């Protein structure tokens, strides 16, 4: 079996739940099979923003075969979402019988390690990392912006903000300010991208490509990790070393 650290890094949704029914499904669009189980989520350990509201709800888990859990049993499930229709279905990568509180220290350490790994990778990809305060954003215009928009089916609706720089954490930037683009669109392709507001104070990871690897009109922050509150600055400096 994979280690807790490995399972945590691979999983987008980790939760404690009690098994209510085997061979059943909460989603009409995802028929029940021997490996599906309805569980009641009692505690969320790690989640994407899309799944953060499922605490206390009944969802379906597609268990790994052979399934060993029994009705009434409690376990911590390591999963990722596979069906988001009329009922949530997640695929199990592994489970640990028992409660999350019994392994709180181990899970907390694993989640932190996973978060640090993802953050370190994003920092390594950034062209420039600065801390500072954002000005009021404005719509970004220009022929290059229009050309880049035309490539994508989902228009990012580029806006721009000027960052008054406190510190340069990675890269070289002698000026006291820098402009950063962000995707103001609420489209599914961009809804998790940072949305800049006047007065935002934090650390900005600025890239020459968007989160999907496509060229952008100017330096941009488009990944959910590309803006971090200023309280995270010390952690980011440690990860940059």
If asked whether residues 132 and 165 sit together in one domain, one would say: yes
Query: Could you give the C-alpha distances from 38 to 43, 57, 81, 147, in angstroms and in order?
Result: 15, 10, 14, 48
Instruction: Write out pLDDT tens, residues 144-156.
Output: 444 444 445 578 9
Provide the residue range defining the domain that includes 64. 4-108
Task: Tell me what the pLDDT averaged over the chain comes to.
Answer: 92
* pLDDT of 48: 85
If asked whether residues 102 and 147 sit together in one domain, one would say: no
* End-of-domain residue from the set 55, 74, 108: 108
If asked whether residues 83 and 159 sit together in one domain, one would say: no
Does some domain include residue 189?
yes
Instruction: Write out pLDDT tens, residues 55-70.
Output: 999 999 999 988 889 9
pTM of the predicted structure, to 2 decimals: 0.68
* pLDDT of 169: 98
Does some domain include residue 80?
yes
CB 106 within 8 A of CB 4: yes
If asked whether residues 101 and 135 sit together in one domain, one would say: no
* pLDDT of 17: 97
The count of other CB atoms within 10 Å of the CB of residue 227 is: 21
* End-of-domain residue from the set 56, 80, 108: 108
**Residues of the chain where predicted confidence (pLDDT) is lower than 70:** 1, 142-153
The CATH number given to whatever domain includes residue 91 is 2.40.50.120
């Amino acid at each position: 079996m994979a280690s807790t650290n490995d399972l945590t890094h691979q999983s987008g949704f980790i939760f404690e739940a009690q098994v209510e029914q085997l061979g059943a499904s909460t989603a009409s669009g995802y028929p029940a099979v021997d490996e599906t189980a309805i569980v009641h989520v009692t505690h969320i350990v790690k989640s994407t923003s899309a799944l953060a509201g499922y605490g206390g709800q009944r969802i379906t888990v597609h268990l790994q075969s052979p399934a060993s859990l029994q009705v009434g049993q409690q376990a911590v499930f390591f999963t990722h979402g596979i069906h988001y229709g009329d009922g949530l279905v997640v695929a199990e990568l592994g489970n640990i019988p028992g409660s999350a509180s019994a392994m709180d220290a181990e899970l907390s350490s694993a989640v932190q390690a996973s978060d640090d790994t993802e953050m370190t990778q994003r920092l390594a990809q950034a062209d420039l990392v600065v801390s500072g305060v954002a000005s009021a954003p404005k719509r970004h215009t220009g022929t290059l912006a229009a050309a880049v928009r035309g490539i994508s089916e989902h228009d990012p609706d580029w806006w721009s903000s000027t960052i008054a720089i406190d510190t340069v954490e990675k890269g070289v930037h002698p000026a006291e300010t820098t402009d950063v683009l962000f995707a103001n669109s609420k489209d599914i392709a961009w809804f998790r991208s940072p949305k800049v507001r006047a007065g935002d104070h934090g650390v900005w990871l600025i890239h020459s490509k968007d989160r999907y690897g496509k060229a952008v009109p100017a330096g941009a922050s488009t990944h959910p990790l590309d803006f971090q509150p200023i309280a995270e600055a010390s952690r980011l400096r440690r990860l940059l070393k």
